[in-house]
Chains A and B, each alone.
Chain A
Amino acid sequence: QKEVEQNSGPLSVPEGAIASLNCTYSDRVSQSFFWYRQYSGKSPELIMSIYSNGDKEDGRFTAQLNKASQYVSLLIRDSQPSDSATYLCAGLYSSASKIIFGSGTRLSIRP
């Protein structure tokens, strides 16, 4: 099993709908998780951090962490064309000062 696993997509969502991005992780990844957005040709930018079980909301974004199922998700409400990007899920490695990234999910918002 990969340490942080994401469906590569593409995920196509109509404008105004909710986009749901999912991520699972292995035992070697600790309980701190991050979502990054990466536009084509650009570097990743941090959009959400989540450290405890449950939901965390920030504007149109909600991150969800379920430790029992080793599952992290990102919901984007009222999806806009500007949300079209690759979303990277990342988790802090348990035994070292590094973050493990998933391979990313490509999201496309269709007008």
Chain B
Amino acid sequence: SQTIHQWPATLVQPVGSPLSLECTVEGTSNPNLYWYRQAAGRGLQLLFYSVGIGQISSEVPQNLSASRPQDRQFILSSKKLLLSDSGFYLCAWSPGQVNQPQHFGDGTRLSIL
């Protein structure tokens, strides 16, 4: 069966520090991969999605970036965090075929001080 791993579960970072969040999927090939952010009490905001290695679509202009160095690995990065980057970051995957739902990792709760 397929599993998605996301780490760390919680992270506290100072303003201006760099960020790297990693997500990996097991048990499937060529998945679509997604990064979302959820502010407290708010809905899901799609940040990036990828349909293949090196293919990244950005949904919202901001100081974050994403990379997909391997088929089942998706990384969210920032060179300098802002206070507004605080939130609950969720990685998700779906099968490469169309019409399939997404499945989420456990998320990373990021607090910027």
How long is the Cα–Cα vector from A103 to B41 in the complex, in angstroms?
9
How long is the Cα–Cα vector from A90 to B104 in the complex, in angstroms?
14
- Say yes or no for A98: interface residue by CB 8 A criterion: yes
Report chain A residues within 8 Å CB of B101: 34, 46, 49, 90, 99
List A residues at the B interface (Cβ < 8 Å).
32, 34, 42-46, 49, 51, 88, 90, 92, 96-104
12 contacts between A and B (CB under 8 A): A32-B99, A34-B101, A43-B106, A44-B90, A46-B102, A46-B103, A49-B101, A90-B101, A92-B99, A98-B49, A99-B102, A101-B44
Report chain A residues within 8 Å CB of B44: 44, 88, 101
How long is the Cα–Cα vector from A111 to B51 in the complex, in angstroms?
45
How long is the Cα–Cα vector from A86 to B89 in the complex, in angstroms?
17
Query: Interface size of B by Cβ–Cβ distance < 8 Å?
Result: 21
Report chain A residues within 8 Å CB of B98: 32, 92, 97
How long is the Cα–Cα vector from A104 to B39 in the complex, in angstroms?
13
- Say yes or no for B57: interface residue by CB 8 A criterion: yes
Report chain B residues within 8 Å CB of A90: 101-102
